[in-house]
């Protein structure tokens, strides 16, 4: 097994980033957090990457902050969050490519926040989700206070945060914390197949869609309508749109990846 804490694997437009500290359920240390953020920044600039998948090695997704590291560090909590988790979560939300969090096992604390920050959240049957922060008398961070109440409502979010109870994959699906629960034995293959489906979509238009949805979270309807008009102008002038129209008229499948490659 590699000693790198973030593994990168690019296959057919799908970049899989694997958090790789399996002995600690991929508890996050600074190299892991900074490595993930750096990989997302690289992916943002690389046209060969159409979709990003974030997952974990071994039986965990991510158990949150490595608690063994906390006592030894020189930064305060706020400075540490600003330096590590916050740029990671911001980049996951702002990168204009689909990000799938493939939650293969337990996602706890900031690991749960990272799971929720995906555009598409795919859980294995063996996954679980814990807002574990209150067990060690901390406040939920890395975006959980933003994402969780939007998904489950204020009161349910507070209950999950206050009691730190483990949510099974089945209950996560019922609560809207994930889009799909997939069989554990074939999880990685099914995630790759799902990601390949997304990679065949017009990912530049999806990037603009992500931008519009992000903006709409804090805008009025009038502002959203105007922003949609502006982004539609951009999408409508793009190679993907031309390919979509041609494919429709010629009664064939669109080749969106080829359209962008051929842009020159
Ligand atoms: O700036 C800042 O740092 C603030 C940011 C904070 C963000 C946070 O994420 S705070 C929350 C930190 N995370 C936790 O409190 C979770 C602690 N872990 C657990 O509660 C449990 O391990 C789990 C519920 C996640 C999983 O339980 P289980 O029974 O499936 O596994 P386990 O046996 O507890 O853990 C397996 C190994 O992983 C074990 O090591 P060992 O005994 O086999 O050598 C355990 O110590 C290690 N491990 C799990 N979580 C962490 C960890 N080691 C370091 N840090 C961890 N967070």
Pocket flag, ligand 1, residue 130 (CB < 6 Å): yes
What is d(CA 242, CA 240) in angstroms, rounded to the nearest whole number? 5
Q: Which atom of ligand 1 is nearest to the CA of 166?
A: 24
Task: Output the CA 173–ligand 1 centroid distance in Å.
Answer: 23
| pLDDT of res. 262 | 65
Q: Which atom of ligand 1 is nearest to the CA of 130?
A: 24
Inside any domain, residue 1: no
Q: How many domains does the chain have?
A: 2
Kindly state whether residues 161 and 257 are assigned to the same domain: no
* Residue-wise burial string across 55-87, b where 16 or more C-beta atoms lie within 10 A, e elsewhere: bbbbebbbbbbbeeeeeeeeeeeeebbeebbbb
Which of these three, 160, 179, 199, is where a domain ends?
199
Going by C-alpha positions, the residue among 84, 127, 83 that lies closest to residue 102 is 127
Tokens of 204: 């530049």
Inside any domain, residue 35: yes
- H/E run at residue 69: helix 67-70
Kindly state whether residues 211 and 192 are assigned to the same domain: no
Contact 95, 44 (CB under 8 A): yes
Kindly state whether residues 107 and 120 are assigned to the same domain: yes
Which CATH number is 221's domain given?
1.10.12.10
Place of tokens 């590590």: 84
Helix axes 203-216, 187-199, angle to 10 degrees: 90
Decide: helix, strand or coil at residue 54: strand
Kindly state whether residues 195 and 210 are assigned to the same domain: no
| pLDDT of res. 73 | 86
| pLDDT of res. 1 | 54
The alpha carbon of residue 107 and the mean position of all alpha carbons in its chain are separated, in whole angstroms, by 13
Kindly state whether residues 194 and 212 are assigned to the same domain: no
Q: Which atom of ligand 1 is nearest to the CA of 78?
A: 1
Domain that holds residue 224: 203-263
> Tens-of-pLDDT digits for all 264 residues of the chain?
577 999 999 999 999 999 999 999 999 999 999 999 999 999 999 999 999 999 999 999 999 999 998 888 889 999 999 999 999 999 999 999 999 999 999 999 999 999 999 999 999 999 999 999 999 999 999 999 999 999 999 999 999 999 999 999 999 999 999 999 999 999 999 999 999 999 999 999 999 999 999 999 999 999 999 999 999 999 999 999 999 999 999 999 999 999 877 664
Going by C-alpha positions, the residue among 102, 30, 17 that lies closest to residue 60 is 102
Inside any domain, residue 21: yes
| Nearby residues of 187 by Cβ (< 8 Å), 6 or more positions away | 102, 104, 124, 126
Tokens of 217: 């979270």
Kindly state whether residues 47 and 73 are assigned to the same domain: yes
Contact 169, 128 (CB under 8 A): yes
Pocket flag, ligand 1, residue 110 (CB < 6 Å): yes
Which of these three, 175, 199, 223, is where a domain ends?
199
| pLDDT of res. 133 | 98
* Order of all β-strands in the sheet with 99-103: 6-11, 14-19, 51-56, 99-103, 120-124, 180-182
Kindly state whether residues 102 and 226 are assigned to the same domain: no
Pocket flag, ligand 1, residue 24 (CB < 6 Å): yes
Helices (H), 176-217: 187-199, 203-216
Pocket flag, ligand 1, residue 141 (CB < 6 Å): yes
Give the residues across from 55 on adjacent strands: 18, 102
Pocket flag, ligand 1, residue 131 (CB < 6 Å): no
Pocket flag, ligand 1, residue 69 (CB < 6 Å): no
Q: Is the pTM of this model over 0.75?
A: yes
Pocket flag, ligand 1, residue 82 (CB < 6 Å): no
Kindly state whether residues 170 and 230 are assigned to the same domain: no
Kindly state whether residues 252 and 187 are assigned to the same domain: no
Q: Which atom of ligand 1 is nearest to the CA of 84?
A: 1
Which of these three, 184, 199, 214, is where a domain ends?
199
């Amino acid at each position: 097994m590699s000693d790198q804490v973030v593994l990168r694997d690019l296959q057919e437009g799908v970049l899989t980033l694997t958090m790789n500290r399996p002995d600690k359920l991929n508890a996050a240390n600074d190299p892991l957090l900074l490595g993930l953020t750096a990989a997302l920044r690289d992916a943002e600039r690389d046209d060969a990457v159409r979709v990003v998948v974030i997952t974990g090695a071994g039986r965990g997704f991510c158990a949150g902050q490595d608690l063994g590291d906390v006592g030894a560090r020189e930064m305060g909590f706020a400075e540490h969050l600003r330096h590590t988790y916050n740029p990671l979560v911001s980049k996951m939300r702002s990168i204009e490519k689909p990000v799938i969090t493939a939650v293969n096992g337990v996602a706890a604390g900031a690991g749960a926040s990272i799971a929720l920050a995906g555009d598409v959240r795919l859980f294995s049957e063996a996954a679980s989700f814990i807002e574990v922060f209150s067990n060690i008398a901390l406040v939920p961070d890395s975006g959980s206070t933003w994402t969780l109440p939007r998904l489950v409502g204020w009161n349910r979010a507070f209950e999950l945060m206050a009691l730190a109870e483990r949510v099974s994959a089945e209950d996560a699906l019922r609560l809207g914390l994930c889009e799909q629960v997939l069989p554990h034995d074939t999880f990685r293959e099914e995630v790759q197949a799902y990601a390949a489906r997304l990679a065949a979509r017009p990912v530049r238009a999806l990037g603009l869609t992500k931008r519009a949805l992000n903006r709409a979270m804090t805008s009025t309807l009038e502002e959203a309508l105007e922003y949609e008009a502006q982004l539609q102008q951009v999408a409508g002038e793009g190679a993907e749109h031309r390919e979509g129209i041609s494919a429709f008229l010629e009664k064939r499948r669109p080749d969106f990846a080829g359209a962008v490659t051929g842009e020159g």
